[in-house]
């Protein structure tokens, strides 16, 4: 059995960027594991660690030496291995020298393409200690770092200056150097509580030794501890900690030894919208807000300190002094904004650029207003409310509050609209226009919110496509993928009878700049259908089921989902496979038929019992199927069509379709064409 040892690597740095800490950690581990696999060094379980001042990995049971492998080297062809006198050629002798043996020790390798000189040799495996430094260096060089920095007089570059390197295989220090720092078996503890150097005994003791030096090395352990402490701190003031996952991750990346401390602020600030206070606490101060059991904000907060203070009250008071001016600023912004209504701000939108080729926010607002009224009219919604909401939709962007807290766009519009006495549905729509904000996120509830959200996203989507700024694989600055999926989700999950082609047509007509309208409409439709495919696959429909519906050019998302549900259910029927194959056969036969073959049908030419029976049953079924399709009862229609299985099978078995008589042949092909036409009214089942 191969000898194994645990591998431990730690890179000690100045404070690492909190938002990318776990990404760097995960890529470091995956890069090292990939390198070990490539070097044919087996290993066991893996662990990774990340704090503000270190990245570390622990790989268990790494093979200490590569396995010896038998290598067969192939040389020149036997036909070229000898000269005219039968002596080894220069090529043959060169091959033997390269293998380090005499010519007589070479063998031959027979293949389908001839015989070749060969030599079998045992290639000794290298020691892991010789391979690991380059494996780690390669992994470090491949870390996703947007901008590397240099320090001192060295040319070394990393995301932050590197101060220490720990690299052990078992208890042995691997002789190596990274970023100009020689590897050792030492680490360091908390900057204040335990700043001295620590000698790490083994990989398995790393986490425990750092914990005794006031460093919780595991990101997950630290995160769990912070969440637990925050909840306990909130309970101590009869509240519930408001913990957003992104903020929890960021705070975890900012501390090595978390200690929760509670503070408070003046209650008069609670008169401000709670979203303003929460945003101030979260973005500016990295605090956890505290809510009561009804979701109302309390005048308390939780900060996570990176030190166990002997005077926690002093830490609390210090944070209270810091947050007071922040909340005062927010209060000032609110008071200043209240001096004007949202409607007063409409003319100023003409001075704010949306996109330099598409004009101002004011111009966009006018397009959205026109599109909103058209959508509201089509859906039977209140046109007056839709028009008003659209005109006010972007006015909060030029308020002081949104200028300071951009993430509150829409939310602030909602509050200001209420303060201005706007109808509640208009106020709600100003916030709902940005929904959904993420995959699976909440959708607009109000009819006006639905209309405004659709109009705003459609205008952006068509406008950006019209000027050629299509999303690429890794770049989508206008979030067009999210906008497209949002449009689809609103239509589908709100059961709105809207067609994508018609929506794109309406949006396209509102733009006045010169562009290829037909190409833009085609591109936008294709882009949205690709998002619809992703949506369907996320609902566990199969790619071929999506293709079967997409092939019949259905562009009404609600209708599309009704069809794909029917196809999914139909595919589970016992007749599905046979009918699918029959439709494939029909399609292949129709490729050889005249384009107008359906018009060439003559029932009087049908003579065989099987074709007469098939024609009669098709006529009977058409009377049942067409009303079902009109009522969108697609699965019921497919079940009726599935009764054609037996007559179709009998037709193919007993009737010679490609008859010598042209009229008879065309009538039989026309019959098949009529059958195919019935199926593709719903989907092309030959694809499932």
* Mean pLDDT on 447-466: 97
Q: Pick the residue with more confidence: 136 or 71?
A: 136
Q: Pick the residue with more confidence: 597 or 500?
A: 500
Contact 675, 648 (CB under 8 A): yes
The enclosing H or E element of 383 equals helix 383-392
Q: What is the pLDDT of residue 166?
A: 97
Q: What is the pLDDT of residue 38?
A: 93
pTM exceeds cut of 0.75: yes
Banded pLDDT at 1 (limits 50, 70, 90): very low
Domain locations along the chain: 4-66+127-212, 71-123, 222-337, 343-540, 561-687
Banded pLDDT at 2 (limits 50, 70, 90): low
* Mean pLDDT on 611-637: 88
Burial class (CB in 10 A: 0-12, 13-18, 19+), 61: middle
User: How many CB atoms sit inside 10 A of residue 624's CB?
Assistant: 13
Residues 330-377 have pLDDT tens digits of: 999 999 999 999 999 999 999 999 999 999 999 999 999 999 999 999
CATH code for the part of the protein at 561-687 = 1.10.730.10
Q: Is the pLDDT of residue 492 over 50?
A: yes
Q: Is the pLDDT of residue 132 over 80?
A: yes
Token readout for 527 is: 């882009």
Q: Pick the residue with more confidence: 664 or 418?
A: 418
In whole angstroms, give the CA distance from residue 584 to residue 588: 6
DSSP annotation string for 516-585 = -HHHHHHHHHHHHHHHHHHHHHHTT--HHHHHHHHTTT---HHHHHHHHHHHHHHHTSTTHHHHHHHHHH
In whole angstroms, give the CA distance from residue 540 to residue 147: 40
486: phi then psi, degrees, rounded to nearest 5? -65, -45
Contact 92, 77 (CB under 8 A): no
In whole angstroms, give the CA distance from residue 588 to residue 563: 24
Residues 170-226 have pLDDT tens digits of: 999 999 999 999 999 999 999 999 999 999 999 999 999 999 999 999 999 999 999
Token readout for 333 is: 């912004």
615: phi then psi, degrees, rounded to nearest 5? -65, -45
Banded pLDDT at 651 (limits 50, 70, 90): confident
* Mean pLDDT on 600-628: 85
Burial class (CB in 10 A: 0-12, 13-18, 19+), 110: exposed
Residues 549-594 have pLDDT tens digits of: 999 999 999 999 999 999 999 888 887 777 778 788 888 887 877 7
Q: What is the pLDDT of residue 173?
A: 96
Burial class (CB in 10 A: 0-12, 13-18, 19+), 3: exposed
Contact 253, 229 (CB under 8 A): no
In whole angstroms, give the CA distance from residue 579 to residue 682: 14
DSSP annotation string for 111-158 = ETTEEEEEEEEEEPPPBHHHHHHHHHHHHHHTS--SS-EE-TT---EE
For 104-113, which contacts have Cβ atoms below 8 Å and span 24 or more sequence positions?
Answer: 106/75, 108/78, 109/72, 109/74
Residues 277-296 have pLDDT tens digits of: 999 999 989 999 999 999 99
Q: Is the pLDDT of residue 462 over 80?
A: yes
Q: Which residues of 131-154 are buried (b: 16+ CB within 10 A; e: fewer)?
A: bbbebbbebbeebebeeeeeeeee
Q: How far apart are the first and last CA of the chain?
A: 51
Q: What is the pLDDT of residue 535?
A: 96
Task: Look at the domain 343-540 and name its fold.
Answer: Hypothetical protein af1432 (1.10.3210)
Token readout for 334 is: 């609110």
* Mean pLDDT on 519-524: 96
Mean predicted lDDT score pLDDT of the chain: 92
Q: What is the pLDDT of residue 410?
A: 96
Contact 667, 601 (CB under 8 A): yes
User: How many CB atoms sit inside 10 A of residue 2's CB?
Assistant: 13
Q: Which residues contact 426 (CB under 8 A, 6 or more apart)?
A: 385, 388, 389, 392, 417, 448
């Amino acid at each position: 059995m191969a000898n194994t040892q645990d591998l431990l690597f730690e890179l000690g740095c100045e404070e690492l960027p909190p938002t990318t800490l776990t990404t760097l950690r995960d890529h470091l581990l995956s890069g090292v594991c990939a390198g070990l696999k490539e070097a044919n060094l087996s290993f066991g379980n893996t662990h990774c660690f990340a704090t503000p001042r270190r990245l570390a990995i622990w790989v268990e049971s790494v093979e200490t030496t590569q396995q010896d492998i038998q290598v067969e080297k192939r040389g020149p062809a036997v036909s070229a291995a000898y000269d005219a006198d039968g002596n080894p050629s220069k090529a043959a002798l060169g091959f033997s020298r390269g293998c380090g043996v005499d010519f007589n020790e070479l063998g031959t390798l027979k293949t389908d393409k001839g015989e070749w000189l060969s030599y079998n040799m045992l290639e000794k495996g290298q020691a892991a200690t010789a391979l690991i430094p380059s494996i780690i260096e390669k992994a470090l060089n491949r870390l996703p770092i947007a901008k590397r920095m240099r320090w001192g007089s060295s040319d070394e570059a990393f995301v932050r200056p590197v101060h220490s390197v720990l690299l052990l295989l078992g208890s042995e220090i691997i002789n190596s150097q990274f970023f100009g720092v020689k590897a050792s078996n030492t680490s360091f503890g908390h900057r204040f509580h335990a700043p001295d150097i620590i000698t790490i005994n083994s990989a398995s003791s790393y986490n425990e030794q750092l914990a005794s030096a006031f460093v919780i090395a595991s990101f997950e352990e630290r995160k769990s501890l912070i969440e637990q402490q925050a909840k306990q701190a909130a309970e101590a003031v009869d509240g519930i900690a408001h913990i957003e996952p992104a903020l929890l991750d960021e705070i975890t990346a900012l501390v090595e030894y978390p200690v929760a401390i509670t503070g408070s602020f003046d209650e008069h600030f609670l008169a401000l919208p709670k979203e303003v206070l929460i945003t101030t606490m979260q973005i500016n101060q990295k605090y956890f807000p505290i809510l009561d059991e009804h979701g109302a904000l309390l005048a308390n907060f939780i900060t996570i300190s990176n030190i166990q203070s002997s005077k926690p009250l002093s830490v609390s008071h210090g944070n209270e002094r810091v947050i007071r001016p922040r909340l005062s600023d927010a209060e000032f912004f609110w008071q200043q904004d209240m001096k004007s209504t949202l409607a007063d701000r409409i003319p100023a939108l003409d001075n704010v650029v949306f996109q330099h080729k598409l004009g101002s926010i004011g111009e966009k607002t006018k397009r959205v207003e026109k599109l909103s009224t058209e959508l509201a009219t089509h859906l039977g919604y209140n046109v007056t409310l839709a028009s008003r909401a659209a005109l006010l939709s972007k006015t909060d962007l030029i308020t002081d509050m949104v200028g300071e807290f951009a993430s509150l766009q829409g939310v602030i519009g909602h509050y200001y609209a209420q303060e201005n006495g706007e109808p509640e549905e208009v106020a709600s729509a100003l916030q709902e226009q940005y929904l959904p904000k993420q995959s699976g996120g909440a959708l607009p509830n109000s009819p006006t919110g639905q209309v405004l959200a659709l109009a705003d996203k459609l205008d952006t989507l068509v406008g950006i496509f019209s000027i050629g700024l299509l999303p690429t694989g890794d770049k989508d600055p206008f979030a067009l993928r999210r906008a497209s999926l949002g449009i689809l989700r609103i239509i589908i999950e709100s059961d709105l009878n809207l067609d994508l082609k018609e929506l794109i047509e309406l949006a396209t007509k509102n733009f006045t700049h010169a562009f290829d309208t037909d190409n833009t409409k085609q591109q936008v439709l294709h882009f949205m259908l690709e998002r619809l495919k992703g949506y369907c696959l996320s609902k566990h429909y199969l790619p071929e089921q999506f293709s079967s519906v997409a092939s019949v050019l259905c562009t009404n998302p609600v209708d599309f989902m009704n069809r794909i549900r029917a196809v999914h259910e139909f595919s589970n029927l016992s007749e599905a496979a046979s009918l699918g194959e029959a439709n494939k056969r029909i399609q292949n036969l129709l490729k050889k038929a005249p384009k107008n073959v359906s018009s060439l049908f003559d029932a009087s030419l049908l003579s065989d019992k099987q074709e007469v029976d098939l024609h009669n049953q098709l006529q009977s079924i058409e009377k049942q199927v067409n009303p079902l399709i009109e009522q969108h009862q697609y699965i019921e229609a497919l079940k009726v069509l599935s009764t054609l299985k037996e007559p179709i099978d009998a037709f193919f078995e007993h009737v010679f379709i490609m008859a010598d008589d042209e009229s008879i042949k065309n009538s039989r092909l026309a019959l098949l064409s009529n059958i195919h036409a019935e199926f593709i009214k719903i989907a092309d089942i030959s694809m499932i």
